[in-house]
Structure 1
């Protein structure tokens, strides 16, 4: 118990220090309000591009407008993308603007649905490529827990089954999304759904659900993103699809990028995403992944993001196995900790002497040593004896305190006759 309190105190102290040092959230689950402005802008552009790919079929058919309101919305969204793309502070802004204008012209010319979807998907892919490392959810709530959240917050508009038939649906224009519509779901990404839940949708009745926790919003996005595929058979994630891919891309895009995987398998994973979250991540693997991401951000000159990721490598990775490593090799633990401190300092500023690469290589070797050490099945005899002795003394002391308390109560209440039972 004392060890747990000590760890909580240590974590709280470290979080407080880092919070004072850095302007942005340093954990993997950063709040949306803390995302840099240019990233928020790119995410919004990607969301608009996705909406066009999903809703264009409701506006145009065979080169003719079939719903004027929907078509005007497509025109408005494409104009917004063109305007915002020209203002995007990215190195690839010119290419982005060319794609945006091409999509706008195609919508104006009432091109076919497939062509518009291909162009919007390509534009969205470009936008995703310009975004820095996306913080992914570590866990999502099981369906039995997120379903009541959906019914409470979304059921009045989208219906308790997600079919867009809630009690308020008839009063809303545009109508609430039917999440069980498979054609729409095939063109919707989890990221697009998450952004809509987090930020709301302008000029619609869809509000922002900032009152929900980040885990609840991610869980809702996965929940509604899988409703159209609930008839799919559960599948094990032996497809080598990552969370990043499943979140960023809609099923059709993912199937096009990974032709060796059937669309049905991707649909099954969307219906049963829990397979991506069951296996606990290796803290040392998290440590190295975040350090690599920090190095890439540093190479791009994004020192703020690099610093965040370097700190996350410690908080969300190495810190979780410090005590275990200490029991095996305290010197190794101290060396890794020292290196990670140096990496946090280096990633926050330009590297003029090439120190970062050398320190990364050294840290990789140390982490490999730690991995090999922790994967051994037994502790040394000395460590095992010491750990057993500490447990014996600690538990024995707690038992002794209970005995003393019982004895004191019996003596003060005049029940000395009951002391023999305590003994």
Structure 2
């Protein structure tokens, strides 16, 4: 009985902590996006909104101070105080947004909460849910002009507002859908299943970016493989704002890419479960550089093979074959160490061949069509077939 009570208390405390972290993160996101509507060039545009910004910043500081003790909490508290000071000084919106976004990221790094869906959100399901739960206020087109909008004291958010949408991630929308928005008619939809809330957030996020932009985003995604490294997985897709992506590739490209990927989130998981051609290519180039006497470049390519080629598929492979994932990680680490130690080039080539065989197994595990067949073969049978097909 005592153990049960302790477990219940622990679980309750964990849920309370998660809720406080989520609320704090949501307040920081709100400040980062909406402060510009309260202050401009040192002047208060809206006294009520400015008062709200100060209130939210104070709440952030209080909630951080109340979180369970960790070595990083003091640094978080100092940043929260800096945010309060910046708002009190009527600092530029860019500075306040930078502090708020930085603090939000540090908060989640210190007190992790779930940041991504467990599976690909269903965009069509999101459209159905939006019609059932959101269109009455936000409008079928997401423009904030639903039939019930005129009845509300606080106008519903227009998801079609591109400037606001560029500052907001899908994760931020998911948080608002989950917890509601205090002081407004926006209720919590915590009663919806988690998958439905993610689908709804993804659908709501697409309104600001038109179909033409999505078509351009599809073209860019298919023609420029370097873009895949910028959005390698669902966690990145739902956590990245178009504004953050724009700092790397420009706003037009960022808008187009987000327009496409938010409509087709399955795209980022398809690249995870595809071939490992990138990692194979980098290892081949690494071995060639090593044979040419350029050990430094060989090491850089080996590291890139892991970071750019293999790491993006780790979550998917780990879910299907954890033992194989660990074997590949170990073998790639040994390969990098062998480069540093100056191992014989032929021995290094043998390591690449072993990895190439492991990658075959990984692709079989990751491929939905081949997974069932691959599970019927044991490692011993694979080894047998590799040596003598007639014996299998």
- Which TM class, normalised by the smaller chain length? 0.5 to 0.7
CA distance 1:276–1:229, shift in 2 (3 Å)? same
Instruction: Tell me whether 1:250 sits opposite 2:241 in the alignment.
Output: yes
Question: TM-score under structure 1 normalisation?
Answer: 0.59
Task: Map 1:264-303 to 2 at 5 A.
Answer: 264-273=252-261, 274-278=263-267, 279=270, 281-282=272-273
- Which of 45, 52, 61 is equivalent to 1:73? 52
- Which of 77, 87, 91 is equivalent to 2:71? 91
Shift of 1:47: 1.2
Task: Map 1:394-405 to 2 at 5 A.
Answer: none
Counterpart Cα distance in 2 of 1:183 and 1:198: 23
Kept after mapping to 2: 8 A contact 1:283/1:316: no
1:152-174 CA distances to partner (integer Å, 9 max, x unpaired)? 20011111111111222223232
CA distance 1:224–1:375, shift in 2 (3 Å)? closer
Question: TM-score under structure 2 normalisation?
Answer: 0.63
Counterpart Cα distance in 2 of 1:241 and 1:218: 21
Instruction: Tell me whether 1:109 sits opposite 2:97 in the alignment.
Output: no
CA distance 1:281–1:62, shift in 2 (3 Å)? closer
Counterpart Cα distance in 1 of 2:169 and 2:331: 39
- Which of 96, 102, 122 is equivalent to 1:141? 122
Task: Map 1:221-236 to 2 at 5 A.
Answer: 221-230=201-210, 231-234=212-215, 235-236=217-218
Secondary structure in 2 aligned to 1:206?
A: coil
Counterpart Cα distance in 2 of 1:373 and 1:95: 45
Secondary structure in 2 aligned to 1:247?
A: helix
Kept after mapping to 2: 8 A contact 1:284/1:367: no
- Which of 139, 156, 159 is equivalent to 1:176? 156
RMSD: 4.0
Shift of 1:313: 8.4
Kept after mapping to 2: 8 A contact 1:225/1:270: no
Secondary structure in 1 aligned to 2:206?
A: helix
Task: Report the structure, 1 or 2, having the larger helix content.
Answer: 2
Task: Map 1:192-231 to 2 at 5 A.
Answer: 192-230=172-210, 231=212
Map of 1:150 onto structure 2? 130
Kept after mapping to 2: 8 A contact 1:121/1:253: no
CA distance 1:86–1:78, shift in 2 (3 Å)? same
Shift of 1:101: 1.0
Counterpart Cα distance in 1 of 2:195 and 2:100: 28
Counterpart Cα distance in 1 of 2:141 and 2:12: 31
Structure 1 residue runs of 5 or longer lacking an equivalent are 1-19, 25-31, 286-311, 320-335, 341-357, 384-423
Kept after mapping to 2: 8 A contact 1:63/1:111: yes
Instruction: Tell me whether 1:100 sits opposite 2:80 in the alignment.
Output: yes
Counterpart Cα distance in 1 of 2:16 and 2:356: 37
Structure 2 residue runs of 5 or longer lacking an equivalent are 277-314, 335-353, 365-369, 382-392
Counterpart Cα distance in 2 of 1:73 and 1:95: 24
